[in-house]
Structure 1
């Protein structure tokens, strides 16, 4: 969730007055970090995953499944091991936005030994088991991207009701009690984002139109002017930040390698978003989307009407095209500069400070672009800081720019190096799937750096891909801009001259084309080698022990089968389950009973009590183990 500063939260009115102060000192803090650590070299590959979980309560007699608001209670126990033995703890547990969510990570990062790939799934299993020991009767810890009936009447245990005219969220659907109460940051963000925006956040999801779907879908449009009658209307931060995801962080050997990884992974973000699609149901309705991304983007969109271009600029400085949760706007490496084909908005004064302190153009515009945002969460104890030692003002803005990729400087007084965070993936039902995705992406980083591959395409094309990735059944039905010649550094012409669907005879334009996810991952004869064949080529030159080799190959087979459409995405599996349910009325409504049966089925699949070849394939087993044998020390 980002920076969890302890202290007394300030109101929006108080925070607004200090926005320039935070921005000024945040820039100074980054400059100091950069000067101290820009020459840092020699860090080894370390990496890790973050998984977010939902606590689900099954009420079998009623045939209902609800979210259980027990995150605070569980985290108090889970964090005891870290407090007592921070250097030896197996898992780290953190709060997330919602009172029904927790986040778990490995206690220590994985390293550069191939055998670490055989530990990931076991760590995920043991992580889930550790938290599951604290569950009450009929509760389950589930990796669901979105709880299907979030915001429906009585969706929480204990029961809680929304308060549209008072409280923090002031939502028609999402109660304040569902916001994590154990840290003031979360409710403070809710209030300040809404107050800065000047109105409720507003997300309108196109409803999936079935034979008996009613339009308008409900009465929301009669209550709130922002609600569209043919859409599923969401009006609170919780609908986005109450979703779960799977994220990865990599430590690079130096700042230059981190910038390369940041750039090269960016075109892969939409591909992995479509691949991991897992959230077609929202507020009890089937929608015409498969992913959470735009929902979270809208849920924290604190832009005013002026910044959204709805009114002339008067109180604000900029018209800002995106929410603070969105795809990145610029590449950071010198190789990527020529693909920055959309205008980069930034404060000239901040940019000039960065440049005057020896920071190059690309990194300076990136930081200055992040700092067009106001702080939306500030604590009284953290107003005045020592910019030579503290970084909270920088992290305040950095951690509330939630983008597909994040470039992360080393923390002060730490052994941690320059890092890159890969953020688009939706969380999957089973630990096998999550481990497969994690290992696939980590292996891609090794292939990119070892073979010096070039996946870069214009940023405008990445933005287009991000939107297409969220469409219903995007993995099968959509095509994505991708670089065909990944071994060359030849750049395409300007974006307004290239790849617009008309025939183009230039050699440069031929470097980029529209491909399916299957073609990108598995390859296209004579046009693109495929990511899996590249990984296998890389692995053929490495010394891999038998168990790790077996596990990796199981993961890669799973990736291949899903990419080809042989097995479902989680979203398509869920959609098919609902539409084929005997009680589904072809009206796009996911009732309590359907939701109960769906989550019971997903629980049984995750526990291994129900086979599901249409989701996992026929051989979704690996030789994962808890520890790496001491004899296996072969590094990348």
Structure 2
């Protein structure tokens, strides 16, 4: 969800004037937080999940299914009945990007005892029943990653038409502004991403081809002013608005920060949880939303994307601000930081001079190469000792696969890590299975000091493969051969290559290509990584996870979905 400030939102030109101010004071706010909590240790395990829901109307009479744009009203009712009268209410509700979306979390974090794992599915069930109880007749709550008809004519209730040539925030050919949450943060982000980029976002998803699919598959857009014709690719499904990414639903997991390497399993979880092959009423040739949502908030200019020489911008930036991570923060992972990391050198020096660890300093200096996208007039001048809005402005709009989160100012909340790549599933059983499995996996990694680190360039390749159709059965992924070697930063020789890059020959001895089947089940020629792991996790996690990954569909039957 990110930072939800209140006030008078500034347009991009006004926001741009204050960008350096936000960065400067954002770093001061981070340093103030860090210095207050840097000695904090021995926190007990606390964790939780975030499930995003879509509000849907089932119109049996007309045989139509539409997204209901009353998320704000539903949210207010749930909050009035829940946390506002009982601070210990078992569920919490928050807004999300779409006006047809709400987000539910447990009211209190879970702990690390076995009894806590037994309550996850039950709490998700409470959330679903609680929200369903305040819906109108013929309305229901769905946990579906991508609504198949998102962007098709008449996909909302009430129905609104897009306004591509009129005044609006998205100017989409397909996605009406009324489908965006009414909180000013969301419309401001949508408008300012488009203005900063200098054009609408361009999302192109490969079309799945069967015998009924034209070849080449080329669309025409009657209301196009020429921008869509330039941006749309043949044999692809074209989308042009932030809502096509941020209007999808995901499953997030958040826990207290520890020294662990669960990062390497994000592509496994993405491939296993793949749940979004449908876009704008068509069947795509991908199974995951990650690339779609990455493109939907890509505010980089042509210069920053490397399409034109740098003139008005400071950096060439290799990824969207919604993408996979670019550096490890642990000393064990330093030698695997083998991808180019663009940083603000002045900010990096300021952090190092203030005593920040070099890997954490370069991580923050990398986040702060971006501009703030949403700024409120009342939130420009802040108390840096007791507020963190400027830091969170940049932190919460760098949507990476994992997010390292400092505590809020003057809070008893600790350091946290957010795990973000999973797709939401249809049932509470499945969603709880993925969440519980990740928590149990972190326990095993820490307890047995397992090492799953590989170069980040290979992690990026794995992420691309994980999004492909049927990657769970056909994809091959780079994975470490020996998980038991472990990391000993005292004995490890220091890297002599720039950015910790080691020779490819040495790296190739540590990892190889494996299928998901091999990674999960092992085989004689590898280290039986998960066989070892599974023998030591609880029967709860095993039964959840084993049942979840059965009967994964692999075939597509037609290209046009739910035609009008």
Tell me the TM-score normalized by structure 1: 0.84
Give a deviation string over 1:569-606, Cα, whole Å, max 9, x none: 5xx4xx54xx1xxxxxx4x111247xxxxxxxxxxxxx
The equivalent of 1:35 in structure 2 is 35
Q: 2:441·2:537 contact (CA, 8 Å) conserved in 1?
A: no
1:172 aligns with 2:173: yes
Q: What is the CA-CA distance between 1:520 and the residue it aligns to?
A: 1.1
1:216 aligns with 2:217: yes
Give a deviation string over 1:175-194, Cα, whole Å, max 9, x none: 0010011x110000000000
Three-state SS of the structure 2 residue aligned to 1:266 is helix
The equivalent of 2:449 in structure 1 is 452
Q: What is the CA-CA distance between 1:553 and the residue it aligns to?
A: 3.8
Q: What is the CA-CA distance between 1:44 and the residue it aligns to?
A: 0.6
The number of residue pairs the alignment matches comes to 549
The equivalent of 1:521 in structure 2 is 520
Aligned partners of 1:416 and 1:315: how far apart in 2?
A: 40
Three-state SS of the structure 2 residue aligned to 1:416 is coil
Three-state SS of the structure 1 residue aligned to 2:102 is strand
The equivalent of 1:145 in structure 2 is 145
Aligned partners of 2:344 and 2:501: how far apart in 1?
A: 25
The equivalent of 1:226 in structure 2 is 231
1:281 aligns with 2:278: yes
1:484 aligns with 2:485: no
Query: How does 1:596-635 map onto structure 2 within 5 Å?
Result: none
> Which shifted more, 193-202 or 163-172?
163-172
Aligned partners of 1:278 and 1:339: how far apart in 2?
A: 31
Give a deviation string over 1:519-559, Cα, whole Å, max 9, x none: 112222240323354143254xxxxxxxxx4x434213225
Q: What is the CA-CA distance between 1:217 and the residue it aligns to?
A: 3.8
Aligned partners of 2:300 and 2:157: how far apart in 1?
A: 33
Aligned partners of 1:58 and 1:217: how far apart in 2?
A: 32
Three-state SS of the structure 1 residue aligned to 2:231 is coil
The equivalent of 1:235 in structure 2 is 240
Query: How does 1:192-203 map onto structure 2 within 5 Å?
Result: 192-203=192-203
Three-state SS of the structure 2 residue aligned to 1:224 is helix
Q: 2:449·2:486 contact (CA, 8 Å) conserved in 1?
A: no
Q: What is the CA-CA distance between 1:112 and the residue it aligns to?
A: 1.4
The equivalent of 2:544 in structure 1 is 555
Three-state SS of the structure 2 residue aligned to 1:446 is helix
1:133 aligns with 2:111: no
The equivalent of 1:362 in structure 2 is 359
1:251 aligns with 2:256: yes
Q: What is the CA-CA distance between 1:389 and the residue it aligns to?
A: 1.1
Aligned partners of 1:433 and 1:533: how far apart in 2?
A: 23
Give a deviation string over 1:73-99, Cα, whole Å, max 9, x none: 100101114453453111110110001
Q: What is the CA-CA distance between 1:231 and the residue it aligns to?
A: 0.8
Give a deviation string over 1:425-444, Cα, whole Å, max 9, x none: 00001111101100100001
Change (3 A) 1:317 1:139: same
Q: What is the CA-CA distance between 1:41 and the residue it aligns to?
A: 1.0
Change (3 A) 1:382 1:518: same
The equivalent of 1:567 in structure 2 is 551
Aligned partners of 1:303 and 1:331: how far apart in 2?
A: 24
Give a deviation string over 1:295-341, Cα, whole Å, max 9, x none: 00000000001100111111100000000000000000111101001
Aligned partners of 1:33 and 1:363: how far apart in 2?
A: 14
Q: 2:121·2:429 contact (CA, 8 Å) conserved in 1?
A: yes
The equivalent of 2:536 in structure 1 is 537
Q: What is the CA-CA distance between 1:23 and the residue it aligns to?
A: 0.4
Aligned partners of 1:173 and 1:15: how far apart in 2?
A: 27
Three-state SS of the structure 1 residue aligned to 2:20 is helix
Three-state SS of the structure 2 residue aligned to 1:23 is helix
Q: What is the CA-CA distance between 1:495 and the residue it aligns to?
A: 6.4
Aligned partners of 1:210 and 1:18: how far apart in 2?
A: 51
Give a deviation string over 1:243-277, Cα, whole Å, max 9, x none: 0000000113xxxx3xx23xx12211111111110
Tell me the TM-score normalized by structure 2: 0.94
Three-state SS of the structure 2 residue aligned to 1:84 is coil
Aligned partners of 2:120 and 2:153: how far apart in 1?
A: 38
> Which shifted more, 421-430 or 266-275?
266-275
Change (3 A) 1:217 1:285: farther
Query: How does 1:402-413 map onto structure 2 within 5 Å?
Result: 402-413=399-410
Aligned partners of 2:395 and 2:124: how far apart in 1?
A: 28
| Structure 2 portions without partners, runs of 5+ | none
Change (3 A) 1:311 1:455: same
The equivalent of 1:79 in structure 2 is 79
The equivalent of 1:340 in structure 2 is 337
Q: 1:465·1:480 contact (CA, 8 Å) conserved in 2?
A: yes
The equivalent of 1:424 in structure 2 is 421
The equivalent of 1:630 in structure 2 is none
C-alpha RMSD over aligned residues: 1.8
Q: What is the CA-CA distance between 1:290 and the residue it aligns to?
A: 0.4
Aligned partners of 1:553 and 1:429: how far apart in 2?
A: 20
Q: 1:520·1:528 contact (CA, 8 Å) conserved in 2?
A: no
Aligned partners of 2:529 and 2:124: how far apart in 1?
A: 28
Change (3 A) 1:82 1:355: farther
Three-state SS of the structure 1 residue aligned to 2:536 is helix
Three-state SS of the structure 2 residue aligned to 1:225 is helix
1:329 aligns with 2:313: no
Q: 1:64·1:592 contact (CA, 8 Å) conserved in 2?
A: no
Query: How does 1:261-272 map onto structure 2 within 5 Å?
Result: 261=260, 264-272=261-269
Change (3 A) 1:48 1:392: same
Three-state SS of the structure 2 residue aligned to 1:272 is helix
